[in-house]
Chain A
């Protein structure tokens, strides 16, 4: 019964938090209104989003978010350094195919977004069967290290979140 009322508790919680952030003041009325949205929107959109992924370890999301946030800061500084101080002839860009073991579309989307936001890499496209992702790297001396880094730092953690 509770599962039917709240098909996706994390989505409901996120919607409540985003609503409270949008109104920018915490009052009981806004909490009730936000809870109303948090209940109604997942139920109304349930039919259009089949096979929702099960999230195994919600606390891991926080850890993942913090790691990505830190990497974004590092990425900004690294890319700025490359742009400012590297001669354009010495910038060696690579296309790097990265095989992925994630299967759910949501997990692959998160991985692709993370790759784009973090050090010197942009995710360009997926293989037609979704088994590997093509990454463009702005500057790398060792393309294999970039691939292993993506797999061990991000994909391994996403596999724990989306089993």
Chain B
């Protein structure tokens, strides 16, 4: 393997280690659950991405073939990470926040965690779905 490839691989690995560390440090440092949610959804994406780039360079330098598996891993990561974050956010809101803690949605219906969806009627009067 050439010197350049080794240098690039180490750079990618160091970068990924740094971002992975920052993501985990954010979990310790930030105060509220919603703030902590930001650290793992973003800072770690580049952490995993760095390892995948390093892996692609390594296999290209070693075998001469371009490996596609890494691209698929990042594709699946982009599909799953937002959904996980969304589930955590919704569970947190359902347990700890009430509808009044949040800004209004600006439409006729409130946020879906607290309000029922309109049942087919396109112009239902507002504020009818609130629980007594």
Which residues from chain A sit less than 8 Å from chain B, CB to CB?
A: 18, 20-22, 24, 72-73, 75-77, 79-80, 83-84, 88, 91, 93, 95-97, 99, 112-117, 120, 122-129, 131-132, 134, 136, 138
Contacts and interface: CB of A to CB of B under 8 A. Distances in A.
Interface in B65-108: 67-69, 71-72, 75, 78-79, 81-83, 85-86, 89-90, 93, 102-108
B45 A72 contact: yes
A138 B111 contact: no
Given A91-B35, A113-B78, A138-B35, 16 more contacts: A22-B72, A72-B46, A79-B39, A95-B103, A117-B45, A117-B78, A120-B38, A122-B85, A128-B129, A129-B108, A129-B109, A132-B106, A134-B102, A134-B103, A136-B38, A136-B89
A113 B76 CA distance: 12
Given A112-B86, A113-B83, A76 B19 contact: yes
Nearest to A136: B34
Contact of A128 (B37, B38, B79, B112): B112
A122 B129 CA distance: 27
Nearest to B46: A76
B118 A80 contact: no
Most A-side CB within 10 Å, residue of B26, B82, B93, B113: B82
Given A18-B72, A125-B93, A80 B43 contact: yes
Contacts of A97: 103-106
Interface residues of B, number: 53
A128 B115 contact: yes
A117 B41 contact: yes
The B interface is mostly helix, strand or loop, or mixed, namely helix
B89 A79 contact: no
Given A93-B35, A117-B78, A125-B112, A131 B107 contact: yes
Interface of B: 18-19, 22-23, 25-26, 29-32, 34-35, 37-39, 41-43, 45-46, 67-69, 71-72, 75, 78-79, 81-83, 85-86, 89-90, 93, 102-113, 115-118, 129
Contacts of A99: 106-107
Nearest to A65: B78
Contacts of B93: 124-125
Contact of B68 (A21, A72, A123, A125): A21
A132 B107 contact: yes
B72 to A, nearest CB: 5
Contact of A79 (B26, B103, B110, B116): B26
A42 B22 CA distance: 41
